[in-house]
Amino acid sequence: MTRLETIKQSRYDQILKVMLTTDEIDQFKNDYVEFINHDHKLPSDVIKVILIKAIIFTKNKGRLPNAAYMRKVAESFKAAGAITLAKAIEKMDRDKEFAMKKTRNNEPNWMDDYEKELEEMENNL
């Protein structure tokens, strides 16, 4: 089954159970309900992708998304024209690639060589 089919067939609560612990779901519940009840004018499948993206991007930083963050993500999807499930998945993937490039590029190219030189100097002492 493809990601597209899996998301299409999943319910919101199933997504939460897969991505979060029971304690995290309890902490997240109010923001989740507020976000889901807001009229985003987006299909439910796109809302599922937004929910997945928001959880992944914030959980990697050690926290859970709040309703305001998820609304911002929804606005960015609308602005990018990601209003179908396929386009929403593409946007999520592009955002992930951008975030990974950004993280990797924080270190200058010469840093690896410099660290190797330091390690060699320490080993020679």
pLDDT in tens, 75-119: 999 999 999 999 999 999 898 887 776 555 556 667 677 777 778
**pLDDT over 70, % of the chain:** 91
Q: What is the mean pLDDT of residues 27-44?
A: 92
Return the structure tokens found at 36. Answer: 């889901």
Q: Half-sphere exposure of 51 toward its Cβ, with a 13 Å CA cutoff?
A: 30
pLDDT of residue 44: 94
Return the structure tokens found at 52. Answer: 């997945």
Number of domains in the chain: 1
Domain range spanning residue 18?
Answer: 3-124
pLDDT of residue 28: 93
